[in-house]
Structure 1
Amino acid sequence: MRSEETPGPSRGLAVVLRTPARAAEPLFAQAPKRWQRRLPYAVVAVALLTLLPVTASVLTNDYKAGGGWAGALAVAQTVPLLLALTRPLAAWAVVLAADTIGAVVLVHADRITGQTWPWTPMVIVGYLLLMACLGLRESIRTLVGVWLATGVVGALLGFLQPDGVTSTHALLFVLAGVMLVVTGALRGVGDAQRRVAEQESISEAERAGRTLLEERTRIARELHDVVAHHMSVITVQADSAPYRLPDMPEDVRAEFGAIAASARESLSEMRRLLVVLRGDGVDGERAPQPGLARLQQLVEATVRAGLPVELSMTAEAARAAEAVPAVDLSAYRIVQEALANVVRHAPGATTRVAVRHDPGGPQGEGGPGEVLVLVVNGRPRSAPVRLESSGTGHGLVGMRERVRLTGGTLDTGPLPDGGFRVAARLPLHAPAEDSS
């Protein structure tokens, strides 16, 4: 079992950068945590509540601009910052126009000498905040255009520069460029991480699909041996019927011959299909498929590998499963996969395997009943083996497919004490056809 890691500050920032806002959405709207989504609002609110009164006060007291002009410029230069959360490009156009008008108005202020111009300190702070919002959302081409436009406007205003002022044109141009580069780089890192995460998700889905197909192919190969046995019996019985029953009518003799021919043709088709499923064009091993009769050997081999396993299997369960080869094979494979998972993920854990026959089924309705398979392991005694992400991972997938094959049910999950439980019900009758 893997425990969830608590993301640190750097990991939290990476998550935020991997989930940029879509068009017309607030900045960080796709962030996973509520405080991350509200952070831009808090920053802009603090900036607005600070810059608005300070701008009005500085323009009135330091520059001696008219009270009406000071208030109007303070509102025009700061309030559009609210728009920066959803439409930073539009906010930038409004703020740049307001800052330009403010610079022209300040040329005629009563105390312009000795002050900063064309950009006041409040304008620089608000503009840099706007650049940060732009850098986290817009493309590189847009950011370059915004930066060049800032420089061009400042250069044009230089023709109106009054005497005795401290020029801030170059300062804002440089600081805006630095802010755009930093935030644009962060945005690029976030985009790259998001693309990697998307590719990993796609690869994981493809790997899961490939694992499922491989497991179904493996089941098909094994079922070939089971079905081929029954088809061989049918062929032998049909071929030998005329010799065992010499007095049968000619039409019955012909019917048995047709049955034998059809069975042989089916066997030939299955052999050709098996060659395709094996994928190598050659015959594979022809050993009989295992069943519950070989479960004791499997448990003994697992014990020799260092895993303490206790087996409890009734003779009724073995006999009942043997009568239905698909159930016999599926029960064996489920136990085999479960023990393999214990060896990999919970080495040294005490494990209990129980197999029994329920003659009445889950509702006590009589009939052939079902085979119940239970594999429970405790906590691992040593550190689990960390599997490579490229592994096959056939364990639970194989169990589910084999349970589906027999029309049964599978219940898997962790236990409160740190162990794991696998429980399967395999009906001893053919699964009902889906009428839909």
Structure 2
Amino acid sequence: MCPSSPPPSSPPPAPARPPADGLLSAARRSLRETGHALSHPSHPPTPLLAGAPKPWQRLLPYAAVLALVAVFVPVTATVLSGQYGLNGGTAGALALAQAAPLLMLAHRPLQAWWIIFPAQILGAVVLLGQDGGQDQAWPWTPPGLIGYLFLLLALGLREQRRTLVAVWLATGAAGLVLYLVSPHRGTDNSLLLFILGAVVLVIGATVRERGVAQRRLVEQQTISEAERARRTLLEERTRIARELHDVVAHHMSVITVQADSAPYRLEGLSDQVREEFGSIAASARESLTEMRRLLVVLRSEGTEGERAPQPGLDRVQQLVEATVRAGLPAEVSLPAGLEGVPQTVDLSAYRIVQEALANVVRHAPGARTRVSITSDGAHLTVLVVNDPPEPTGSSLAPLETTGTGHGLVGMRERVRLTGGTLDTGPLPGGGFRVAARLPLPPAAPPASASSAPPPAPEDS
């Protein structure tokens, strides 16, 4: 039997077209966004003038709302009972519902609107069944209308445009519905409130947006000043880097070339002298390498300077040996197996030893120096102590008789960055001491016995 031929492949289904966004869906979306704007305040519940510098300015909104409530509650109750003929209990309840929420204008005006607006509509419905006050203003009583305008002003100062438009339209719709229910009831003031409400909302929104624009302008000015200061700092760092390169790098390069070429230019040099020239050249090259790394950091040319390997405790021995070759009798004591030292502590310890030895070479040449680095698990202690310098009549004279103090300042800055302490000062019998105590991270806890695998059962 011959194999059956495969059925013809059906054409791929056409991609479904997205439904057209018609007027009905746009209206639903607009209503949904409007409802969200009315139910969710666009600002945190912080009072007006909360950021004012003076206390009386911050208390001013609270004093204003207290004055509004103190005025409108009794006035509304009096007007409802005297001019519209309501009994005292009903008039007092409506007055509290329509005026007491004005206390919330300082921090929650939208929530106050959700109380006052239904209370105003309820008051209009109640007045609709009253025989008295047929010639009075309706559906909004005079004190109710003025209090409502204060509410709209507070909304304009705090809420976004969508919320303000929704409140304004809701107010106009309520007035229109009440007018249609009783078109011949007294003096209709629904259109008056609709117009005055628009004016008050525009004023409040204008003041709010102007304040927002001023705050953004201040923020932009602050950002511009910070950027200008940063640019000035970068220019200054670039200038320092240029000066370092032009002055220090030139002289160090000359020293390196002279030290390298001296054994070939000068005849009859002993092996010890040749070794001394080689040590000078190596020290100069190392100084050039570290200075180039510093120049990269100063010029902000990426992170090459940060990625380059930094000296640490593993190079303290070489540092002391180079100092000994320079004619300074020094000895070093290092802990065995010191691991897990943070890079910041590692580099700071090296720089402290380096600066301390450099100070001894400059100010106390020939003085015996002891370098000790110890660790108790919680702190790393760096101690550099030197004896008194050689007598005045000796061949070793101090390179500097006075110091600037920049070295000690640099030590303190490094120790402060690590959260440690530094103690420096002369010794009673002469000499100088530098003691730094740098914190170490806590060691990882050892594995508990419960995490070990259970022993195998013994054969009976």
TM bucket by the smaller chain?
A: 0.5 to 0.7
Q: 1:144-159 to 2 correspondence within 5 Å?
A: 144-159=165-180
Number of the residue aligned with 1:180: 201
Number of the residue aligned with 2:347: none
1:220 and 2:241 equivalent?
Answer: yes
Summarize the Cα distance change of 1:232–1:88 in structure 2 as closer, same or farther, 3 Å threshold.
same
Summarize the Cα distance change of 1:405–1:236 in structure 2 as closer, same or farther, 3 Å threshold.
farther
Summarize the Cα distance change of 1:97–1:275 in structure 2 as closer, same or farther, 3 Å threshold.
closer
1:189 and 2:210 equivalent?
Answer: yes
Number of the residue aligned with 1:126: 147
Quick check: 1:221–1:277 contact (8 Å CA) kept in 2? no
* Cα shift readout 1:243-271 (whole Å, capped 9, x = no counterpart): 4352423x974884686588579869979
* Cα shift readout 1:17-37 (whole Å, capped 9, x = no counterpart): xxxx95112222122222221
Work out the CA distance in 2 between the residues paired with 1:113 and 1:278: 85
Quick check: 1:239–1:260 contact (8 Å CA) kept in 2? no
Summarize the Cα distance change of 1:262–1:226 in structure 2 as closer, same or farther, 3 Å threshold.
closer
The answer for unaligned runs of 5 or more in structure 2 is 1-41, 301-361, 363-399, 413-433, 440-460
Number of the residue aligned with 1:364: none
1:170 is matched with which residue: 150, 170, 191?
191
Q: 1:128-143 to 2 correspondence within 5 Å?
A: 128-143=149-164
* Cα shift readout 1:282-317 (whole Å, capped 9, x = no counterpart): xxxxxxxxxxxxxxxxxxxxxxxxxxxxxxxxxxxx
Q: What is the CA-CA distance between 1:163 and the residue it aligns to? A: 3.0
- Amino acid paired to 1:236: Q
Q: What is the CA-CA distance between 1:156 and the residue it aligns to? A: 0.8
Number of the residue aligned with 2:47: 26
Q: 1:270-281 to 2 correspondence within 5 Å?
A: none
Work out the CA distance in 2 between the residues paired with 1:123 and 1:39: 23
Work out the CA distance in 2 between the residues paired with 1:166 and 1:49: 27
1:47 and 2:68 equivalent?
Answer: yes
Number of the residue aligned with 1:108: 129
Q: What is the CA-CA distance between 1:211 and the residue it aligns to? A: 1.5
TM-score computed with the length of structure 2 as normaliser = 0.53
Summarize the Cα distance change of 1:435–1:232 in structure 2 as closer, same or farther, 3 Å threshold.
farther
Quick check: 2:253–2:284 contact (8 Å CA) kept in 1? yes
* Cα shift readout 1:145-188 (whole Å, capped 9, x = no counterpart): 11001001111111222635000100111111111100101100
The answer for unaligned runs of 5 or more in structure 1 is 1-20, 280-323, 325-366, 373-402, 410-430
1:369 is matched with which residue: 387, 402, 408?
402
1:236 and 2:269 equivalent?
Answer: no
Number of the residue aligned with 1:67: 88
Work out the CA distance in 2 between the residues paired with 1:148 and 1:33: 38
Quick check: 1:59–1:65 contact (8 Å CA) kept in 2? yes
Q: What is the CA-CA distance between 1:90 and the residue it aligns to? A: 1.1
SS in 1 for 2:71: helix
- Amino acid paired to 1:185: T
SS in 2 for 1:65: coil
Work out the CA distance in 2 between the residues paired with 1:63 and 1:247: 122
TM-score computed with the length of structure 1 as normaliser = 0.56
- Amino acid paired to 1:144: V
Quick check: 1:132–1:179 contact (8 Å CA) kept in 2? yes
Q: What is the CA-CA distance between 1:124 and the residue it aligns to? A: 0.9
- Amino acid paired to 2:232: T
* Cα shift readout 1:87-140 (whole Å, capped 9, x = no counterpart): 111110110000000000011223222100000110111101111111111111
Q: What is the CA-CA distance between 1:371 and the residue it aligns to? A: 5.0
Q: Between the two structures, name the one with larger relative contact order (CA 8 Å, sep ≥ 6).
A: 1
Q: What is the CA-CA distance between 1:226 and the residue it aligns to? A: 2.4
Quick check: 1:239–1:257 contact (8 Å CA) kept in 2? no
Alignment identity in percent?
50
Summarize the Cα distance change of 1:405–1:185 in structure 2 as closer, same or farther, 3 Å threshold.
farther
Q: What is the CA-CA distance between 1:78 and the residue it aligns to? A: 0.3
Number of the residue aligned with 1:88: 109
Summarize the Cα distance change of 1:432–1:241 in structure 2 as closer, same or farther, 3 Å threshold.
farther
Work out the CA distance in 2 between the residues paired with 1:404 and 1:184: 60
Please report the RMSD computed on the Cα atoms of aligned residues, expressed in angstroms.
3.8
- Amino acid paired to 2:161: I
Summarize the Cα distance change of 1:273–1:101 in structure 2 as closer, same or farther, 3 Å threshold.
closer
Aligned length: 280
Quick check: 2:252–2:284 contact (8 Å CA) kept in 1? no
1:200 and 2:221 equivalent?
Answer: yes
Work out the CA distance in 1 between the residues paired with 2:198 and 2:134: 28
SS in 1 for 2:158: coil
- Amino acid paired to 1:233: I
Q: What is the CA-CA distance between 1:197 and the residue it aligns to? A: 0.8
